[in-house]
Amino acid sequence: MSINNIKFILNKAIQSHILCEKEILYLIQSKESKKLFDIANKVRLKYVGNGVHLRALIEFSNYCKQNCLYCGLRSDNFKIIRYRLKLKEIINLANKAKYYGYKTIVLQSGEDNYYDIKKMSKIISEIKKLDFALTLSLGEKTFEEYKAYRVAGADRYLLKIETTDEILYHKLNPGMNLKNRMNCIENIKKLGFEIGSGIIVGLPGQTLKSIVKDIIYLKSIPVDMVGIGPFIYNPDTPIKNINSKNLFELSLKIMAILRLLMPDINIAATTAMETLNNRGRIIALQSGANVIMPNATKAIYKKYYKIYPGKICIDESPVHCRICIENKIKSIKRYVSNDKGYHCKVNLLSQ
C-alpha cells in the first residue's frame, strides 16, 4: 500500500506509534482531518480514559527579561502594565484553588529574576504543604535553579521549545539560543521533573516541514505533557500580522498526531486554541486532549498577563472559570478527574 493513504498511515500509527517525517507531513496536509481527529480521540480514550485533568493556572508575574518578538510580555513592551504577586497573594490564590477542588497548581511567569532561588523555594514549599501537584513555568533557568525548585518540592516543569527551526528561533528570540533551551529541557528531565513542552503553530516564517521536525523532537525527549498553541498576533509586538484563519485546525492536527505518537501522555486543550475558536478547548478534548488549565489568577491581574490579545474569560473570576469548565466537560460526557494527573506510562509493547 502506498504511504499516500491516510488509512494506512493512521493504522501504522495506532499499531506502532511511530511515523516517519513524510507520513507526518502527509497527515498535516491531508484534507481528511476528521479521520485523524476521530482516531486521536479513540487513542485518547484507550490510553488515558475519559477523565480531564484540571490544572489551576496562577500567572504570578508578567515581568520578563527576554524579548521574544511575538510575546506581549517581552521586555521592550512598554505598553504593558507590569505586576508581581507577593508570596501571601500566591498562597491565597492556591488556597482558593484548593477550595475549588483543583489537584494541580501551575505557577507561570515571565523570566523574572526578582524571584530568586530563596523566594521561589519558599513559594514552592508553601504550595506543596497544601498537597498539590505543582508545575512551574518560569522559562530558562540554570541547572542549580531547577535543582533547587525540585528539592523544594516542584513536580513538573513546562518549557515550550516554541520551534526547533534554528534560524527562525534565533530570529524570533533575540539573545536566546535554541541549544540552550534544549539543554534546559534535558536538565529538567534529568532532575526527575515531569516535563511539559510544545510549540507555537503559525509563527511567521515557520514551515510545515519544520513543524514535522518539532513533532519528532517532542517525541524524542520524550515529553510527559504537551501543549500546542496557535500563534496569535499581538499588535504591541514588532512581529507582523499574519492570517490566522487556518491555525486552529492546523494546531488541532499537530495535537492529534502527537496523541497517536505518544498515546499515554497528557495533552492540553490550550487557551490559545479557544482564543481562535469559541469551542476550541472542547473540540481539542474530542481530538486527543485530556488536560485543561483554567485560569486561577485574580481577575484584576489576569488582564495584565497579556501574552496576546483576545485572551478568553478575561473578566471572569477563578470560581466562575472552574464551574464553567466543569459544565463544558460534562456536556461532552467526560468528567473532571479526581487525582493529581501524573503521566501514567503504559507499556506500549504489551498493547
DSSP state of 162: B
User: Which residue of 23, 162, 264, 274 would you call a contact of ligand SAH, by CB under 6 A?
Assistant: 162
Q: Is residue 288 within 8 Å of residue 47, measured between CB atoms?
A: no
Q: Is residue 128 within 8 Å of residue 134, measured between CB atoms?
A: yes
User: Which residue of 97, 127, 232, 276 would you call a contact of ligand SAH, by CB under 6 A?
Assistant: 232
Q: Where are the alpha helices (DSSP H) in the chain?
A: 6-16, 21-29, 33-48, 87-99, 117-129, 143-152, 166-172, 178-190, 208-220, 247-261, 271-276, 280-285, 299-302, 318-331
State the Cα–Cα distance between residues 47 and 39, nearest whole angstrom: 12
Window of 88-96, 224-232, 313-321, 322-330 that interacts with ligand SAH by CB under 6 A: 224-232
Our finding on whether 173 is near ligand SAH (CB under 6 A) is: no
Window of 42-50, 142-150, 168-176, 229-237 that interacts with ligand SAH by CB under 6 A: 229-237
Neighbour count for residue 22 (Cβ, 10 Å): 12
How many residues lie near ligand SAH (CB under 6 A)?
18
State the Cα–Cα distance between residues 41 and 46, nearest whole angstrom: 9
Nearest to 48 by CA among 336, 347, 345, 350: 345
Our finding on whether 196 is near ligand SAH (CB under 6 A) is: no
Q: Judged by CB, which is closer to ligand SAH: 202, or 263?
A: 202
Taking the complex as a whole, the smallest distance from the CB of residue 272 to ligand SAH amounts, in Å, to 5
| Residues between 2 and 61 with contacts to ligand SAH, criterion CB under 6 A | none
- Which triple of cell numbers denotes residue 309? 490579545
User: What separation in angstroms does the CA of 271 have from each of 133, 201, 292?
Assistant: 21, 13, 8
From residue 68 to residue 87, the character string flagging contacts with ligand SAH as x (rule: CB under 6 A) and all else as - is: --xx----------------
State the Cα–Cα distance between residues 24 and 10, nearest whole angstrom: 10
DSSP state of 67: -
Taking the complex as a whole, the smallest distance from the CB of residue 268 to ligand SAH amounts, in Å, to 12
User: Which residue of 308, 318, 326, 341 would you call a contact of ligand SAH, by CB under 6 A?
Assistant: 308
User: Which residue of 27, 93, 111, 215 would you call a contact of ligand SAH, by CB under 6 A?
Assistant: 111
Q: Judged by CB, which is closer to ligand SAH: 178, or 272?
A: 272
Q: Judged by CB, which is closer to ligand SAH: 9, or 127?
A: 127
Q: Judged by CB, which is closer to ligand SAH: 43, or 239?
A: 239
Our finding on whether 302 is near ligand SAH (CB under 6 A) is: no
Our finding on whether 201 is near ligand SAH (CB under 6 A) is: no
User: Which residue of 196, 229, 263, 341 would you call a contact of ligand SAH, by CB under 6 A?
Assistant: 229
Our finding on whether 139 is near ligand SAH (CB under 6 A) is: yes
User: Which residue of 272, 276, 289, 325 would you call a contact of ligand SAH, by CB under 6 A?
Assistant: 272
* Pair type for strands 194-201 and 335-336: unpaired
Taking the complex as a whole, the smallest distance from the CB of residue 308 to ligand SAH amounts, in Å, to 4
CA 319 to chain centre: 22
Taking the complex as a whole, the smallest distance from the CB of residue 229 to ligand SAH amounts, in Å, to 4
Q: Judged by CB, which is closer to ligand SAH: 110, or 341?
A: 110
Q: What's at 326, amino acid-wise?
A: E
State the Cα–Cα distance between residues 126 and 283, nearest whole angstrom: 36
Our finding on whether 108 is near ligand SAH (CB under 6 A) is: yes
Distance, first Cα to last Cα, the chain: 24
Our finding on whether 110 is near ligand SAH (CB under 6 A) is: yes
State the Cα–Cα distance between residues 156 and 150, nearest whole angstrom: 9
CA 5 to chain centre: 31
Which residues sit at the interface with ligand SAH, rule CB under 6 A?
Answer: 70-71, 108, 110-111, 137, 139, 159-160, 162, 200, 229, 231-232, 234, 272, 307-308
